[in-house]
Chain A
């Protein structure tokens, strides 16, 4: 369980994090989504006590992070996979973490195996690691203490498709066993496939949050029909907001069932009717962050 309450962090005049409140619950994967520079990393840094909050608070498992007696045993943290001593071997990096937590150093080799690094790779210095290997090593460091909570900042960066799949399964399994996972990303599709809950942030402020299902429902229904103009009129007449998202595709702000009924009563044949999951969320993400994103400034 992670609880963030009215958290703000200012740098001079800049409000990097502005009154952020959300909860990441056990048994669920919470996706922390936002464009670059939105304040995701700063929020996570405040959570683990690396950056002091200007106001508000963040607690992990009901305590301030600094009050955790042995944080590595309760919270696995990966903030930046590149932030590892280049002159140390991967295995030694894990041994140091295990020692700090008071665990047998043999845990290091178990973790090397668990995150899919070979023993040879583990004996090389981190300097020679690719970003993907560093991510795996960082995940290993986060998991070595068998924590209840994971806080991961952009963990999929640099992983190949198989690696991303592996990470997804790993986090899913962790949450299904009752663990709390908070992971950030600026890639919507990455988060969409894994997260149960979403927190969307732009320019330091939360712009949307809720379960993925809720946010998807809010994104509406995609409907395809040969007579989309008539369908659009019929839907509008029923008080449903419609936007055109393709030649014969409409996005309606309503449940698929309702859209189907309207089409039926108007006698319009549909060729496709489905929740606008991926596309809808993407549109929502772009919409929500349009005014705050860098691209939005020019527009």
Chain B
């Protein structure tokens, strides 16, 4: 067969020398950051989460204008109308940005193009925090517009009742929210599992711990120190006292930092299949 002879001669030809190429420059961390930011929003789930946030913010703002009595046409309510959907839904984006690498298996490409998981995960964490901070600014901005429009429609003077320090604690609270999402993503590494985990963590446990506080005296005293969700409450209410910061730091170490450390340890060892 003729192919045999062709292959035989080919095998005897010394390999063609490819001109030596310069090694490319190392991928800068800023580029990893940029790519991870794009990846958070360019999927179908990312797109619909943003649509969901925008739609619920719009409906809530409309509802405040339509149904709130005149003395409730205040900045705080408009900020909340835009901010609350973000506070609930953005952590899901942080979760998916981590878990999709495993559940969608895109990590196979991500971690071969950037063969250092800590770089990729650091980028994801920073992007999640930045999204948390920027989204509060956006919520306050759109809330301000809503407040002006709402006050104009109601024919009252706009009330600006969010102080700078309140805005800062709100920002901090939201950044922490996204870190909770990131932590659950890193710890569970499975999209449905981590999203369910998020709802248990954020919406199922809090009423249970409140119920327990009603029934158990010891837990009632310990709750501010051990219940992370409880300790976060004052962040949304305004000024934080020193004790409240201490509550937040203690419970946050147990519910956020410790599981995050475990998750990061596991992620570095887990295989991406």
Are these two chains actual partners, yes or no? yes
- Contact surface of A with B, Cβ cutoff 8 Å: 25-28, 45, 48-51, 65-66, 68-74, 77, 79-80, 82-88, 92, 96-97, 99-102, 125, 127, 141, 148, 176-179, 193, 196, 211-213, 216, 274-275, 277
Considering the chains assembled together, what is the distance between the CA atoms of A288 and B43 in angstroms? 46
Task: Tell me how many residue pairs across A and B have CB atoms closer than 8 Å.
Answer: 133
- Contact surface of B with A, Cβ cutoff 8 Å: 1, 3-4, 7-8, 10-11, 14-19, 21, 23-27, 31-32, 34-35, 38-39, 42-46, 100, 104-109, 111-116, 271-272
B residues in contact with A88, CB < 8 Å: 42-44, 106
A70-B24, A83-B109, A96-B38 known; A177 vs B18 contact (CB < 8 Å) = yes
B residues in contact with A84, CB < 8 Å: 104-106, 109
A99-B35, A99-B38 known; A65 vs B16 contact (CB < 8 Å) = no
Q: Which of A66, A82, A99, A274 has the most CB of B within 10 A?
A: A99
A-B contact pairs, 19 of them (CB 8 A): A26-B17, A27-B14, A45-B271, A48-B115, A49-B112, A69-B24, A69-B25, A69-B27, A70-B24, A70-B25, A77-B112, A80-B108, A88-B43, A99-B35, A100-B27, A176-B16, A179-B18, A216-B4, A275-B1
A residues in contact with B109, CB < 8 Å: 77, 83-84, 97, 141
A residues in contact with B16, CB < 8 Å: 26-27, 176-178
Contact A69 B11 (CB under 8 A): no
Contact B114 A100 (CB under 8 A): yes
B residues in contact with A86, CB < 8 Å: 104
B residues in contact with A65, CB < 8 Å: 112, 115
A80-B108, A274-B1 known; A97 vs B15 contact (CB < 8 Å) = no
A residues in contact with B23, CB < 8 Å: 69, 74
Q: Which of A82, A83, A176, A275 has the most CB of B within 10 A?
A: A83
